[in-house]
Structure 1
Amino acid sequence: MHTYATLAIVQPYLPRYRVPFFAELKSRLSADYIDVQVVAGRPLGSQAARGDDTDADWATRFEPRQLKFAGRAITLAHTRRHWAHADGVILPLMGTSLDAYSAILHKGPRVGLWGHVDSYVARANPLDQALERWMVRRADQVFAYTTRGANLARRWGAAQTSVTSVMNTVDTKELETSLRDLECSPSPVRAKPITLGYIGGLDGTKRISLLAQALMALTMRGTSVKLVVGGQGPDAHLLDALRTSHDIDIRGYVSGVDKAKLLQEVDALVCPGRIGLVAVDALVAQKPILTTDYEFHAPEADYLKDGISMFSSPDSAEAYADLIESQPWRRSIPPADWQYPRIETMVENFRLGVLRMMNLEA
């Protein structure tokens, strides 16, 4: 009779898009005699405003707190009680996470760290980066979002076999099916205005203010644009304020068929700020993303090809309006240029990393 090893995976919170990944990973690792428990916090700040937090019967919840110190936010999660007696724990790779230091410094579970590795979404803080390098060199396994992060972890001193490139993505099966079904239905008559879509949280990282300014610039030029928004967040008011004078359809959080309908309606997606997992949605629907030369995109932006699935303008409202007005998506792009990582591959990559971490690899 086999004895199950136990693994805890700690997350800041549990967004809906992560549920299929964790459910499949739990199933796959169960076949390897590893019992997985997800330990997820309640979302704070802009994450809470996104409205995508959820629960699952395999998830244990905790109430995180943040301590402001010297201009930095230190996460006080106190999750150790949930994984101290487990055989392994995977924690966020964050220089401000006290739980990660606790796991590395105390004798106990095997330790994995999961994160971007590189400073994608903000200018690198020298202290944070030094601390994260220290963590990476001491973890039993590093789970990097993409190949670029994995390569950096190795340059920081992690062993070749102690790094897993996860290839972060979402479950695209429902979206793929919904898009195919919609293709079989009569297509709506496309109106004359340029039709743009936005999917994701409406917050400062996405630079909704620049998008609003670009829409106003286009209106001043007499260019008709319709914007369909699938998302919510603290900056929703910036677009809501324009609805009386602009053609803006705000639908709130979208998924499944609703997301597919939005993607079918639009010519392109707009994201003047941080590009994250919306890159996968864009590739599935074969709709390019219009962005700026903003320097803090998330790792998933690496999946896009400049001039094919992503078009960029200089970082100003007028230049972004120019890009939208030029309609660069009108050129034909071969299907081979719309490849994206599948969740089945992400689960398998993560599974193999867990087996290496736990010294259970065949």
Structure 2
Amino acid sequence: MKKVAIFYRFLPQYRVDFYNKLRESLAEEGVELSLIYGKSIDGNAAKKDEVDLPWATYVQHKIIKIAGIDFIWQPYLKYVKDKDLVIVEQANKLIVNYILIFYRYFAKFKLAQWGHGRNMQIDEKSLANRFKNKLITACDWWFPYTEGVKQYIVDKGFDKNKITVVQNAIDTVTLSKEYDALPQSQVEELKSQLGIDSENIGIYCGGIYEEKRIDFLIEACDKIKKQIPDFHLIVLGSGKDAFKVKEAQVTRSWLHYLGAKFGAERIPYFKMSSIFLMPGLVGLAILDCFATKTPMFTTTYPYHSPEIEYLVNNENGVITENNIEAYVNGVVEVLKDKSKLEKLIQGCEKARTIYNNENMVNNFKNGILKCINQN
């Protein structure tokens, strides 16, 4: 039996379905999957979205300071033994990656990288990204998140025949089914509890930290409220900047901060909302929008994650210019024109059949099989 291991720093709740299905899918092909993971001990821990998986192996990592920079030591080397393929997160600060890059020349396993190709939240010409570019070709296979990331990797010299685009996703199928099945009566009851008597509701759901631009969101919503008097905003999530939302809601009866919500408990809030507001960094949240037919409104913020590629402007979401006036106008225009809103909803419904865990699992499985069976 062929054996594959994935090394990852942490295990977020949204990845559980993917790992379970990938394990089952590979087992059907006679391949054993191991997952070795730790838990965040940095800013990610504030998101409160990490879980455990019974069949996976938890091994806590440590932070080691080198020249004032935080590196992460993952004591995972013993799990390389008898593996045909080891898949690692592409990240400069992971010490074990450097060891594996050299170790693979003296062992029988292949090494694959899984990631964005570069840190999209900083300048492409930064020292960190230039260093990361040097290591793009230091592996046997690549699992980029999206087609755009694939092109970036190819441009940096990696063999296009040894790349599998995974089409990064979450479990939108289950989320979609639960969304469609939720009775409207439950939604109306919850709206009543929140004191909301309106259809003009926006939702924000995700981590609440600097790159999400919470100050921009609140200021924009203040201006939206002036043009649409019955507008309400629901905020779900946690993070370092959550205090800004808590403070803002004290003087805004139309702003409802409800803390972190996961899985099915988010659905009633999405179902009562007409649009999703995220003017800052967009990543996997776009998939929540597709699954719940709640169009995303964002900006041309320069540091989005790769999943922004899934948003087709004015078809399944809206991307405005990167300023508050343009953002407010974009939101107000759609909320006042239900035909435009309906077009976006239909676009989301179409997109949710394309971007889902089933397709991601199939892509990942096929890439793994191709890699381990190739001489």
| TM over 0.5, shorter chain | yes
For the Cα contact (< 8 Å) 1:292–1:312, is it kept in 2? Answer: yes
For the Cα contact (< 8 Å) 1:223–1:325, is it kept in 2? Answer: no
For the Cα contact (< 8 Å) 1:104–1:135, is it kept in 2? Answer: no
Distance in 2 between residues matched to 1:303 and 1:220, nearest whole Å: 31
State the 1:221 CA deviation. Answer: 6.7
Question: Which residue of the partner structure matches residue 99 of structure 1?
Answer: 96
Return the letter of the residue paired with 1:214.
A
Question: Which residue of the partner structure matches residue 342 of structure 1?
Answer: 356
CA RMSD, aligned part only? 2.5
For the Cα contact (< 8 Å) 1:268–1:290, is it kept in 2? Answer: yes
1:149 and 2:155 aligned = no
Question: Which residue of the partner structure matches residue 60 of structure 1?
Answer: 57
State the 1:16 CA deviation. Answer: 0.8
Question: Which residue of the partner structure matches residue 36 of structure 2?
Answer: 39
Distance in 2 between residues matched to 1:46 and 1:279, nearest whole Å: 22
For the Cα contact (< 8 Å) 2:120–2:305, is it kept in 1? Answer: yes
Return the letter of the residue paired with 2:307.
E
Return the letter of the residue paired with 2:52.
D
State the 1:187 CA deviation. Answer: 6.3
Provide closer, same or farther for how the CA distance between residues 100 and 143 of structure 1 changes in structure 2, counting only shifts above 3 A: same
1:324 and 2:331 aligned = yes
Moved more, 141-150 or 124-133: 124-133
Return the letter of the residue paired with 1:116.
H
Secondary structure of 1:241's aligned partner: helix
Distance in 2 between residues matched to 1:187 and 1:219, nearest whole Å: 22
Distance in 1 between residues matched to 2:319 and 2:214, nearest whole Å: 16
Return the letter of the residue paired with 1:139.
C
Question: Which residue of the partner structure matches residue 269 of structure 2?
Answer: 262
Distance in 2 between residues matched to 1:221 and 1:45, nearest whole Å: 40
For the Cα contact (< 8 Å) 1:136–1:156, is it kept in 2? Answer: yes
Return the letter of the residue paired with 1:348.
N
Question: Which residue of the partner structure matches residue 78 of structure 2?
Answer: 81
Distance in 2 between residues matched to 1:310 and 1:219, nearest whole Å: 21
Secondary structure of 1:138's aligned partner: coil
Distance in 2 between residues matched to 1:306 and 1:336, nearest whole Å: 10
Return the letter of the residue paired with 2:160.
Q
Match of 2:308 among 295, 301, 304: 301
Distance in 2 between residues matched to 1:283 and 1:259, nearest whole Å: 14
Distance in 2 between residues matched to 1:219 and 1:71, nearest whole Å: 46
State the 1:117 CA deviation. Answer: 1.1
For the Cα contact (< 8 Å) 2:227–2:332, is it kept in 1? Answer: no
1:13 and 2:10 aligned = yes
Return the letter of the residue paired with 1:34.
V
Distance in 1 between residues matched to 2:302 and 2:130, nearest whole Å: 21
State the 1:235 CA deviation. Answer: 1.1
Distance in 2 between residues matched to 1:297 and 1:360, nearest whole Å: 34
Return the letter of the residue paired with 2:372.
M
State the 1:6 CA deviation. Answer: 2.1
State the 1:54 CA deviation. Answer: 0.4
Distance in 2 between residues matched to 1:219 and 1:182, nearest whole Å: 28
State the 1:349 CA deviation. Answer: 0.7
Provide closer, same or farther for how the CA distance between residues 123 and 78 of structure 1 changes in structure 2, counting only shifts above 3 A: farther
Distance in 2 between residues matched to 1:134 and 1:240, nearest whole Å: 43
Distance in 1 between residues matched to 2:65 and 2:321, nearest whole Å: 34
1:136 and 2:136 aligned = yes
Deviations 1:75-117 (A, max 9, x none): 3323223324433210011233221121111122210100011
State the 1:120 CA deviation. Answer: 2.4
Question: Which residue of the partner structure matches residue 179 of structure 1?
Answer: 179
Distance in 1 between residues matched to 2:223 and 2:185, nearest whole Å: 35
Return the letter of the residue paired with 1:267.
S
State the 1:315 CA deviation. Answer: 3.0
For the Cα contact (< 8 Å) 2:145–2:166, is it kept in 1? Answer: yes
State the 1:239 CA deviation. Answer: 0.7
Return the TM-score normalized by structure 2: 0.87
For the Cα contact (< 8 Å) 1:196–1:227, is it kept in 2? Answer: yes
Unaligned runs of 5+ in 2: none
For the Cα contact (< 8 Å) 1:96–1:128, is it kept in 2? Answer: no
Moved more, 76-85 or 48-57: 76-85
How many residues align? The count is 358
For the Cα contact (< 8 Å) 2:87–2:114, is it kept in 1? Answer: yes
Return the TM-score normalized by structure 1: 0.89
For the Cα contact (< 8 Å) 1:288–1:308, is it kept in 2? Answer: no
Secondary structure of 2:204's aligned partner: strand
Secondary structure of 2:343's aligned partner: coil
State the 1:287 CA deviation. Answer: 1.7
1:201 and 2:198 aligned = no
For the Cα contact (< 8 Å) 2:298–2:319, is it kept in 1? Answer: yes
Distance in 2 between residues matched to 1:27 and 1:310, nearest whole Å: 34
1:357 and 2:364 aligned = no
Provide closer, same or farther for how the CA distance between residues 85 and 128 of structure 1 changes in structure 2, counting only shifts above 3 A: farther
Match of 1:285 among 286, 292, 302: 292
State the 1:28 CA deviation. Answer: 1.2
Question: Which residue of the partner structure matches residue 24 of structure 1?
Answer: 21
Secondary structure of 1:13's aligned partner: coil
